[in-house]
Amino acid sequence: METAEHIRALDEEGRLLATAARKAGTDAEVPTCPEWRVRDLVRHTGAVHRWATAFVAEGHPSPRPLPDGPDLAGEALLTWFEDGHRRLVDTLRAAPADLDCWSFLPAPSPLAFWARRQAHETAVHRADAESAPGGALGEPGEPGEPGERTVDFAVDGIDELLLGFHARSRSRVRTETPRVLRVRATDTNAVWTVRLSSEPPAAERVDAAAAGDADCEISGPAPRLYLSLWNRLPLPAVTGDTALAELWRETSGVG
């Protein structure tokens, strides 16, 4: 996906998050984040938006701590969130292509990184807001599907998670002996081979026809896989050694 597409997705996802939060109310519990209420979700996402905006707007060359959100609730908190979301979208759209600032996952450029990361950050937390009772049009506790409702966006998010986040040394998805986990999107030809060992997972995107043997396969439509791999929905379908799927559920959380 291009940077402009990620920014459009970020714009849409932030609006949808605010809508879901208003419908649920900021005191509502968030089933996909059991320790949070909607106010905690909105504060966190709004703080992340302001944190990201500062890197892009000010060109910070090194990490900075994530700020705390304000002690607000209700409409005042939602207005604060919307203001920060709008500032992030506008800042990304105005940023130069040769932006130079800190980032933490491989990307063609810092601008491409921040647009992509914030689009997916917001999409996953929009799903959290929609999981709150009254937050979505569907069944309570069932978040909507991600980003602009497209398969391409979901595939891009799975790429970021498997090839980006879990390639880092902090990934806890490890096995004592080498194993192979396959992730297959059934609504497109995207397949990922994830080699598990005592080292960080080594994932690669492969052609569906050329995928080799695997000890376990997780499969389903890309939008559901996306949220499932972020532990927001149950895994759609699992074949082979289900212990590897359970390992993913227990250890793949990204902090």
Q: How confident is the model at residue 127 (pLDDT cuts 50, 70, 90)?
A: very high
Q: Are residues 35 and 140 in the same domain?
A: yes
Q: What pLDDT, on a 0 to 100 scale, did the predictor assign at position 184?
A: 97
Q: Give the domain CATH number at 116.
A: 1.20.120.450
Q: Which domain holds residue 172?
A: 159-251
Q: Where does a domain end: 86, 121, 146?
A: 146
Q: Give the domain CATH number at 237.
A: 3.30.1050.10
Q: How confident is the model at residue 143 (pLDDT cuts 50, 70, 90)?
A: low
Q: Are residues 64 and 186 in the same domain?
A: no
And the tokens for 65? 């701590």
Q: Are residues 126 and 187 in the same domain?
A: no
Q: What pLDDT, on a 0 to 100 scale, did the predictor assign at position 138?
A: 46
Once rounded to an integer, what is the mean pLDDT over residues 48-77?
A: 97
Q: Is the pLDDT of residue 35 over 80?
A: yes
Q: Are residues 238 and 124 in the same domain?
A: no
Once rounded to an integer, what is the mean pLDDT over residues 140-167?
A: 79
Does residue 90 or residue 208 have the better pLDDT? Answer: 90
| Domain presence at residue 30 | yes
Q: Are residues 163 and 71 in the same domain?
A: no
Q: How confident is the model at residue 144 (pLDDT cuts 50, 70, 90)?
A: low
Q: Are residues 133 and 175 in the same domain?
A: no
Q: Is the pLDDT of residue 227 over 60?
A: yes
Q: Are residues 49 and 126 in the same domain?
A: yes
Q: What pLDDT, on a 0 to 100 scale, did the predictor assign at position 140?
A: 43
Q: How many domains does the chain have?
A: 2
Q: Is the pLDDT of residue 95 over 80?
A: yes
| Domain presence at residue 154 | no
Q: Are residues 118 and 166 in the same domain?
A: no
Q: Are residues 67 and 164 in the same domain?
A: no
Q: Are residues 234 and 136 in the same domain?
A: no
Does residue 43 or residue 208 have the better pLDDT? Answer: 43
| Domain presence at residue 153 | no
Once rounded to an integer, what is the mean pLDDT over residues 27-49?
A: 97
Q: Which amino acid is at 254?
A: V
Q: Is the pLDDT of residue 145 over 60?
A: no
Q: Which of 85, 160, 147, 158 is nearest to 119 (CA)?
A: 147
pTM: 0.94
| Domain presence at residue 108 | yes
Q: Is the pLDDT of residue 209 over 60?
A: yes
| Domain presence at residue 96 | yes
Q: Are residues 82 and 185 in the same domain?
A: no
Residue whose entry in the numeric block shows the structure tokens 């609504």: 187
Task: Give me the chain's average pLDDT, please.
Answer: 94
| Domain presence at residue 46 | yes
Q: Which of 137, 157, 9, 149 is nearest to 85 (CA)?
A: 9
| Pairing of the two strands 216-220 and 179-185 | parallel
Q: What pLDDT, on a 0 to 100 scale, did the predictor assign at position 137?
A: 43
Q: CB–CB of 144/126 below 8 Å?
A: yes
The torsion angles phi and psi of 182, rounded to 5 degrees, stand at -110, 140
Q: Are residues 212 and 108 in the same domain?
A: no
And the tokens for 69? 């959100």
Backbone dihedral region for residue 187 (phi beyond 0: left; psi -120 to 50: alpha; all else: beta): alpha
The torsion angles phi and psi of 18, rounded to 5 degrees, stand at -60, -40
Q: Which of 215, 199, 140 is nearest to 167 (CA)?
A: 199
Q: What pLDDT, on a 0 to 100 scale, did the predictor assign at position 149?
A: 57
